[in-house]
Structure formats: C-alpha cells, structure tokens
Chain A
Amino acid sequence: MPDRLYNEKTRRDDRARPRPSDTQTVTAASSDGVVMFRLSPCPDGILVMRIQARARGGRLVQSIHFTDDASFIRWCDADRLKFTYPLVYANLRRSGCALFGT
C-alpha cells in the first residue's frame, strides 16, 4: 500500500522537523516519543528544554540556558542519542544556530 507508507513516512518526518509552536518557540521530537526538544530565544542566548523518556520508565527533563552557539553545538554533538535520531539532532542544531543568528 504505497499511499499508506507514504503517509506514515510523512508523519514521521513531520514530527522530526522543527516547527514553530508560537512565534518564538521551536520544537522537534523523535517519532517514537523518546526525545523531544523545545528551543526559545532569550535576551542573552537561547533556552532549550530536553525531555527524554528513560528506558526503565520515568522521564528526564532538562532546562538549559546557552549563551553562545559553540557551547550549544558541543552539547548537541556530545549527546549519544544523535546516533539513534540523526534527523532530529540535525534539525535541533540547525534551529539552535538559527536562533543564535549564525
């Protein structure tokens, strides 16, 4: 059923793609709901919320302030989940850099 497959793929891609939930906040999430990000600009950098469903149950919610794009990129690159969700992390990085204006 090509149409159905196409629709499922589209839905997956749509979830991974960052999208503005209001004029300033951008969100990106993995299709399986394991990891989700919200990014928002602030006067001296960007604010990021990372929500991860933990393997043994429960959630890990981190709220982080970044003052420069270098530290943000380092943080993105250090996260091992980027190997599982490369599309999400590529979008995360691109969205963060866009908010920094770089």
Chain B
Amino acid sequence: MPCSAPEGSQRTLSDVTRADDYFARVSAMVRHLDTVRDPMRAVELLRQATLCMGAERSIFASFIRDDASCESFRLLLACDPEWLIDYEQQRWHEDDPWLAYARVHCEPVRGSEIPTHTAAQRAIVELAERFGFRSSVIVPTPSSGGLSRTGVLCLGSATPNYFEGDGYLEFKLVARGVATEFHDWWIARMKDELIASAHITSEDIVLLAHERRGHSTKVIARDLHSSITSINSRFQRLNFKLKVPNRRAAARKAAEYGLI
C-alpha cells in the first residue's frame, strides 16, 4: 500500500494523522520487516513507513559500544545521504544534540525542544535543516540492562513547524512503535552477523550466559558437568573468536549484540 509524500502538497500533519486508516497503513508497512533480512531492503521499508506516518524523510541510527574506545554506527538513510558525508567529515557524533538526547532519554521529542549549547551543536542542527529536517522529531529507542546499544529515529519535514501543530500526539504514538520495530530488527541482524562471523555455537551462548550472571568457573564447570580446565580453555577460545581481551568483555559483547 504505497503512501504519497506530503512534501509540497500543503498537507498538514493533522490532515495525515486524521485519516481513518492512519495506524493501519503504518503498521501494515512495518509488518513487512519480519520478512526482510537485508538492510538495503529495510531502508526501502523505512522510507515507505516514513511517508505513511506523514513525514518526508528519516534516518534510523543504531549505535553500539564495541569497547571502551570505539563505537559502531549502523544507519538506514531515507533522506539525502550527502548529509551524512558532511556530518562524518566534521566528526560530529560526539557533539550531536539529537544523539546526546537519545542516549539518556526514552521520550520522543521535537527537535525544536532540544536545546543547543555550543556552536558545534548549532552547526549540526543547521546542517540537518539544510538537508530537509527544518522540522523534526527525535524518537529514542534505549536498551535496558545497562547496555550501550541505542537506536534513534529522526523524522523530518522541509516545512518549518510541520510537527508543532495538531496531529503530533498521534504521530508520536506511531513513530515510537516504528522506531522500536526498527531497533529490534537491527539487533536481530547484528546478532545474526556476530554468530556467523565469530562461529558462535549454542554451547558458547550457554557459557556466556553463565559468565554474564557472574558465575565462577567452578560453578559453571559443575553445572555443565565439565572440568575447570575445560571451561577455562573454552573461554579462551571464545575470547579469541569474539576479539575481546577477557571473558567478562565476551559476556558483555554477547549481551550488547543480543546473544544472551
């Protein structure tokens, strides 16, 4: 069920969200995510869902801390990708007020409600405006359990104040659901990717779950009817496969990527 873009059509957000089938059309679009494995196909769905919701463009960013010094970013871009080239060249991840908001909040918010305190933050918002996010909504998808993985859906319109009027409540409700679905989808893909690249077995996952619960080698060995030496060497192999320095980091990485 294709959705037409509201850009240039003078439609207000309220016009879009008042439609009887508003929720049904968006959920029908997102339901297709279940059948998609390829991020390139997911971006197509994101674009369609964005239009159905009543926005013109969007970006879904998922970030995860691989270790103390580095983070990986995964982006679905249903917008002009040149924006990201400028953004990357300026190394603006650390100053981005929208990302900063998403790291510590769970409530969707309009971009206009997020304060900018520095020149770099103002420049980042101005860059987003130049690429069609003159009015925006930021939808965080945090993770529980002290994990670093976070997602954020940024929805935009080139029409100033587009998200400020009536219809925002319905839009926010739908956007939150869509963001959560895409976040869950990314975690599932990252999990598949790690299992395949590191050759993780179901026995490995059991071992990592024990470590995550803080069990000692002795307890794990007793529970798995194995020897202490065997458990230690299995952890050593796992650390190598997951490219981490120790078993604690291995368990943390497994949790971040949704293995346990």
Contacts and interface: CB of A to CB of B under 8 A. Distances in A.
B105 interface: no
Interface stretch (A1-9, A53-61, A86-94): A53-61
A48 interface: yes
B81 interface: yes
Interface size bracket, A side: 20 to 34
A59 B73 CA distance: 6
B42 A61 contact: no
A58 B75 CA distance: 14
B47 A65 contact: yes
Interface size bracket, B side: 20 to 34
Contact of B39 (A42, A49, A57, A80): A49
Interface string A56-87: 11111111111000010011001110000000
B74 A71 contact: no
A17 interface: no
Contacts of B69: 56-57
Contacts of A78: 82, 85-86
Given A48-B40, A79-B85, A61 B70 contact: no
A56 B47 CA distance: 31
Interface of B: 38-44, 47, 66-67, 69-78, 80-82, 84-86, 88-89
Interface of A: 38, 40, 42, 47-49, 54, 56-66, 71, 74-75, 78-80
